[in-house]
Amino acid sequence: MRLKDKIAIITGGSSGIGAEICKLFVSKGAKVVVVSRHENKALMNQLGENAVFFSTDVSDEKSVEKLYKFVLDKFAKLDILVNNAGITGENLHTHELEFSEWKRVFDINVNGSFLMSKQAILLMIKERSGSIINIGSVLGVVGSENFGAYCASKAAIIAMSKQDAINYAKYNIRVNSISPGTVMTELVASMKDKIGDESFKSIFASNHPLGGVGEPKDVAYGALYLASDESKWVTGTNLVIDGGFLAR
């Protein structure tokens, strides 16, 4: 099995892309710590005995420290961290955006990834091994008319991934990011319901040369590759999974 006996933390693991990563990792032999503010009991029942839930606010340093104490006490090591927790924030331009809203997005998306990575790296240095996967976005690579704080936060995550990849390669810790295009998560599905099929196709699906939008499992399989030993010589890369969006 590709992740046999690997210990993985997945933030934002109760829904969407995070939940799909949890399911795939468990199916490949990993023991998974599902991190979110709220437990998805149906998901945890599905994952079975090789998964455990831990409620954490990734933007709060003390909360993150409690999580890592739990992981250390229970498993004594960490092999994989997936920083998936994130929010889009308000769809406003810079001159319309309150600083409190900007800060809220960065607290979760960027500061949360930093706090989680910091503690993970301390454990991984001891093992001289590990894989950190940060979920970015195609909107962290190119500009967008919408969601300014979100775009800036995802660009920061991609840059942080490259920086950490360089700094911790000497410990055999690999750090990569994944930048999805539009993926049919609960959030995107609710947006589709609001605007209707035709508007959704013209705004989102038409932007992808392969057509349609992605599925959470498309991103999960990318994470599986970066978490496994198959990518042992891959670090500092930004894996784009976007149906061709950035190829235009």
pLDDT of res. 229: 97
Q: What does the pLDDT look like over 126-136, one tens digit per residue?
A: 999 999 999 99
Q: Of 3-7, 34-38, 191-195, give the lowest mean pLDDT range.
A: 191-195
Give rounded-to-5 percent helix, strand, coil for the chain: 55, 15, 30
Taking residues 2-10, report their average pLDDT.
98
How does residue 191 score in pLDDT terms, banded at 50, 70 and 90?
low
Q: What does the pLDDT look like over 13-27, one tens digit per residue?
A: 999 999 999 999 999
DSSP 85: -
Answer CATH for 7-183+217-241 from 3.40.50.720, 3.40.190.10, 3.90.180.10, 3.40.50.10800: 3.40.50.720
Which of 68, 150, 168, 225 is the catalytic position? Answer: 150
**Separation of alpha carbons 113 and 164, rounded Å:** 12
| pLDDT above 80 (res 10) | yes
Nearest to 55 by CA among 75, 76, 74, 37: 37
SS3 142: coil
Q: Nearest 5°: CA angle at 156, between 9 and 215? A: 55
- Cβ atoms of residues 18 and 82 within 8 Å: yes
Higher pLDDT, 222 or 88: 222
pLDDT of res. 201: 76
| pLDDT above 90 (res 176) | yes
Q: Which residues of 193-226 are buried (b: 16+ CB within 10 A; e: fewer)?
A: eeeeeeebeeebbebbeeeebbebebbbebbbbb
Residue with tokens 């962290």: 140
Where are the chain's structural domains? Answer: 7-183+217-241
pTM of the model: 0.95
Averaged confidence pLDDT in the chain: 95
Taking residues 225-246, report their average pLDDT.
98
**Separation of alpha carbons 88 and 75, rounded Å:** 33
**Separation of alpha carbons 40 and 145, rounded Å:** 34
| pLDDT above 90 (res 161) | yes
For a pLDDT cut of 70, what percent of the chain falls above it? 99
Instruction: State yes or no: is 225 an active-site residue.
Output: no
